[in-house]
Amino acid sequence: MNPSAPRVLVVGPSWVGDMVMAQSLFCALKQHQPDMQIDVLAPGWSLPLLKRMPQVRAGIEMPLTHGELGLRRRWRLGRSLRGNYEQAIVLPGSLKSALVPFFAGIKQRTAFLGEQRYGLINDIRALDKEVLPMTVQRFVALGQAATDAQPPRFAAPRLRVDADNQQHLVQTLGLSLHKPAVALMPGAEYGPAKQWPLAHFAALARELVAQGQQVWVLGSNKDHAAGEAIAQQAGSTREVLNLCGRTQLVDAVDLIALCAAAVSNDSGLMHIAAALDIPSIALYGSSTPTHTPPLSDKARVIYLALECSPCFKRVCPLGHTRCLSEITPKQVLAMLEDVS
């Protein structure tokens, strides 16, 4: 390790999909300066995910929950990092996310202005949302020189897979690899306005099973009931396996990598499937692929672009969620067959 190599602290985002997209920034930094040492200050859940990104030297746990101020704890963490970095890049736009680099006395603190962070951020970048419509572009732009006004070119995120963990999961979860598996991801942390109807997921699962495939429903413990509903409505709890809540986030990386394809709402797992570069279908309703598309040539998007979309609400304000319910299982199946 080069002791004179530049050292950068990146304050990472709090959402799974955003953390995956942040890898494009890490790639850009390493491309510009291959010996750069990149550490990421991030929520504890994301540290195993960061280990799948070879550009990151270390993840540092932010010992606070999302939205918690914890001023004294941020001050202590910042003081413990003093003298370790020449630059900090702050990806979230909140005021509190800029506190640790400030308390750490990091000389150059780069970010968009966000919540009026004058003083906390001393390398303020202008954000033109028309020039940088995509979240990944905004992340990568913060790694460029301030004078570079062009939309940045970026490498798509690509996560490493742990073959040993894959074998362990197959054994402990009792999985069979004799039939191709399709991953269905019915969850979306932001809210139900981003979730394709469970009955549609179940209908799709029935068709996939009829074609001789198996289905793995993936998600967190919050999605367990949804997974059960899909398996029961599909009429095949043997070929439609509900794995929601039975794995950790990093396990989902290894399981999705074993699948022939994936179908997902606009969610963190969608971005993971894209970062594994497997054929996938991404379903958008209240959000828009203009802002956070799956970053893979093997991904396809279905977005109806209704007059009420995108609303970016957690719950449909009109009470019908037509933007997702009018995407039919037949449409998804046809596109899945095409991309696969």
CA distance 34 to 52: 18
> Cβ-count burial of 27 within 10 angstroms (0-12 exposed, 13-18 middle, 19+ buried)?
buried
Bridge partner list, 125: 112
Give the pLDDT score at 1: 57
CA distance 228 to 274: 25
Bridge partner list, 86: none
| CA-wise closest residue to 55 among 19, 86, 82, 100 | 19
pTM confidence score: 0.95
Bridge partner list, 10: 40, 89
Amino acid at the residue 104: A
| CATH code for the domain defined by 7-141 | 3.40.50.2000
Give the pLDDT score at 3: 67
Give the pLDDT score at 275: 98
- The CATH 3.40.50.2000 portion of the chain extends over 7-141, 163-339
Which positions of the chain have pLDDT values less than 70? 1-3
Please tell me the chain's helix, strand, coil percentages from 3-state DSSP, rounded to the nearest 5. 35, 15, 45
| CATH code for the domain defined by 163-339 | 3.40.50.2000
Query: Are the C-beta atoms of 314 and 293 separated by less than 8 Å?
Result: no
Residue 303, SS3 per DSSP: strand
Q: Tens digits of per-residue pLDDT, 73-93?
A: 999 999 999 999 999 999 999
DSSP string, 240-288: EEE-TTSS-HHHHHHHHHTSSEEEEESSHHHHHHHHTT--EEEEESSS-
CA distance 115 to 106: 20
Residue 25: which H helix or E strand, with range? Answer: helix 16-32
- What distances in angstroms separate CA 307 from CA 180, 234, 289, 317, one per listed residue? 38, 32, 15, 13
